[in-house]
């Protein structure tokens, strides 16, 4: 069974640009979650999508947005990039329900110059 896949592995942008990160969940999982892991800050929850809808959002500005496609894959878009957006962005997927743990991809390393 293929795990959660994320692309690209690395992404280098400059301030003010826009970045698009992609995630494919485990087959059969309908929920996709996005996290930001910045140095020294642990995992910060960004967004949760399920069945194509945004279900929950963390404490991030509106320039962080995303969507989920009919095949349950997802995109995270970050507009007007700032230096502090440099981080590892992790995607996780799960089935829906209480006892469905999240399974993570290896992340996209976003570096802002």
Interaction site with other proteins (CB under 8 A): 4, 6, 31, 33, 42-43, 45, 48, 55-56, 90, 92, 94, 96, 98-107
Shortest approach of other proteins to residue 80 CB, angstroms?
26
Residue with token string 């800050």: 41
Are 3 and 92 in contact by the 8 Å Cβ rule? The answer is no
Task: Give the residue from 98, 109, 107, 112 showing the smallest Cα distance to 34.
Answer: 107
Shortest approach of other proteins to residue 45 CB, angstroms?
6
Shortest approach of other proteins to residue 90 CB, angstroms?
5
Nearer to other proteins by Cβ, of 60 and 104: the residue is 104
Phi, psi of 53 (to 5 degrees): -115, 145
């Amino acid at each position: 069974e293929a795990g959660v896949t994320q692309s690209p592995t690395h992404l280098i942008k400059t301030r003010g640009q826009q970045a698009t990160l992609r995630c494919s969940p485990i087959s059969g999982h309908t929920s996709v979650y996005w996290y930001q892991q910045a140095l020294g800050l642990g995992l910060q929850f960004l967004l949760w999508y399920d069945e194509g809808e945004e279900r929950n959002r963390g404490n991030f500005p509106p320039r962080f947005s995303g969507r989920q496609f009919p095949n349950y894959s997802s995109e995270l878009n970050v507009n007007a990039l700032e230096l502090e957006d440099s981080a590892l962005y992790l995607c996780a997927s799960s089935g829906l329900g209480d006892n469905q743990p999240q399974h993570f991809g290896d992340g996209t390393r976003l570096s802002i110059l």
